[in-house]
């Protein structure tokens, strides 16, 4: 078994536009070199550099998680502002564990692809991983993982149970999940949905709402690709849970990611902000709902 990490720099395109190719390239090269050293200090081996990211393998899941958390905390404690201005540097990371085929120092296989998809799905300053990693961790590291439920990663027929690493909520590694929930005031979160001129908000005390083509839906989408009862949203276990009940599925786009989590009679937790496309992938004319979570 091998643990694979993909770590990508967020917003590198805008940084190159703002700083110019030469200055931005120099900054990224220095940053990636420093990150390589951190991964190696945690027993990681950098397989290859990916322009504005890294592909790293570890012998142990715990070492991979510790390395990723260490890097995220460094960016939080000492923010980097390339060129002295602009948004601070942030990373998005994916961790997967499983069988890997190694050829001439490079690594291939479904585990590698899954880690890359998780990094694509993660938002800024987020680490996403799966049940494979959770199962191999000790109790203290498991306590920092919050389940996002089953998600369909592009290129995989079966859903993967995805977890988000809660590395920011409390620095004490002995903190319990209850303590983390209390610190984050999860019950005060509000989910806002916007579709055209319609706006719906739900919170921890709201009843389950529905999305669909039927007139009785809480949020009505008048489109033939949308089922009469297409999906539901509810507050469950400290998270907003989206459940697909449609004929054609629901595409969930987190943050600025172009790759969707596709739900087909499955569910996932909504985090941050993004868009839902009911009945088809996101494109011009598709029935879209924007969502955002605030506290």
pLDDT in tens, 110-164: 999 999 989 887 877 889 999 999 999 999 999 999 887 777 776 666 778 889 8
pTM over 0.85: no
Confidence of residue 269 (pLDDT cuts 50, 70, 90): confident
Residue 11: pLDDT over 90: no
CA distances from 59 to 1, 29, 53 (A): 7, 26, 20
Note down the domain range covering 75.
2-183
Query: What confidence tens digit (pLDDT) does each residue in 161-176 have?
Result: 889 898 875 433 333 3
Give yes or no for a contact between 73 and 2, defined as CB atoms under 8 angstroms apart. no
Same-domain status, 172 and 103:
yes
- The answer on 135 and 170 residing in a single domain is yes
Please, which pLDDT band fits residue 72 given cuts at 50, 70 and 90?
very high
Last residue of a domain, one of 144, 164, 183: 183
Confidence class of residue 56 from pLDDT cuts 50, 70 and 90?
Answer: very high
**For residue 96, pLDDT beyond 80:** yes
By the 8 A CB rule, do 140 and 173 touch? yes
My answer on whether 30 and 101 are in the same domain is yes
Domain final position from 149, 164, 183: 183
Task: Please state, rounded to an integer, the average pLDDT across all residues of the chain.
Answer: 85
Give the span between the Cα atoms of 288 and 252, in whole angstroms.
10
Q: Which of 87, 140, 142, 96 is nearest to 118 (CA)?
A: 96
Domain boundary among 183, 208, 231: 183
Q: Is the pLDDT of residue 186 over 70?
A: no
User: Which candidate, 172, 166, 8, places its Cα nearest to that of 90?
Assistant: 8
For residues 241 and 130, state if they share a domain: no
Is the domain of 123 the same as that of 219?
Answer: no
Same domain, 20 and 132: yes
Position 40 confidence tier, pLDDT thresholds 50, 70, 90: very high
Greatest mean pLDDT among 116-125, 218-227, 240-249? 218-227
Residues 137 and 84 in one domain: yes
Backbone φ, ψ for residue 129 (5° rounding):
-150, -170
Considering the domain architecture, whether residues 176 and 242 belong to the same structural domain is answered as no
pLDDT given at position 141: 93
Mark whether 220 and 129 lie in a shared domain.
no
What is the tally of structural domains in the chain?
2
**Whether 163 and 213 share a structural domain:** no
Domain of 114, CATH number, reads: 3.30.70.1230
Examine the domain organization and report whether 15 and 161 are in the same domain: yes
**Which CATH number does the domain housing residue 289 bear?**
2.60.200.20
Is residue 84 pLDDT above 70, yes or no?
A: no
* pLDDT the model gives residue 184: 42
């Amino acid at each position: 078994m091998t643990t694979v990490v993909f770590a990508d720099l967020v917003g590198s395109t805008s940084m190159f536009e703002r700083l110019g190719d030469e200055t931005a390239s120099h900054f990224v090269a220095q940053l990636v070199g420093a990150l390589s050293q951190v991964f190696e200090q945690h027993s990681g081996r950098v397989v290859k550099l990916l322009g504005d990211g890294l592909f790293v393998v570890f012998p142990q899941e715990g070492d991979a998680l510790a390395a990723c958390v260490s890097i995220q905390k460094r960016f939080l404690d000492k923010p980097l502002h390339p060129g002295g201005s602009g948004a601070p540097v942030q990373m998005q990371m994916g961790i997967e564990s499983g069988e890997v085929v190694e050829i001439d120092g490079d690594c291939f296989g479904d585990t590698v692809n899954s880690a890359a998809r998780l990094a694509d799905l993660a938002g800024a300053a987020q680490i996403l991983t799966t049940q494979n990693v959770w199962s191999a961790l000790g109790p203290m590291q498991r306590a920092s993982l919050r389940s996002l439920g089953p998600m369909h990663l592009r290129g995989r027929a079966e859903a993967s149970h995805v977890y988000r690493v809660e590395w920011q909520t409390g620095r004490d590694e002995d903190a319990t999940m209850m303590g983390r929930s209390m610190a984050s005031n999860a019950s005060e979160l509000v989910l806002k949905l916007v579709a055209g001129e319609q706006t719906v908000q739900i919170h921890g005390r709201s009843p389950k709402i529905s999305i669909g083509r039927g007139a009785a839906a809480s949020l009505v989408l008048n489109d033939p690709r949308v089922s009469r009862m297409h999906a539901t949203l509810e507050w469950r276990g400290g998270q907003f849970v989206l459940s697909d009940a449609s004929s054609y599925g629901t595409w969930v786009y987190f943050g600025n990611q172009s790759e969707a989590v596709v739900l087909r009679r499955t569910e996932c937790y909504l985090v941050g902000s993004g868009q839902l496309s009911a009945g088809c992938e996101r494109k011009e004319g598709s029935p879209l709902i924007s969502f955002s979570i605030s506290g």
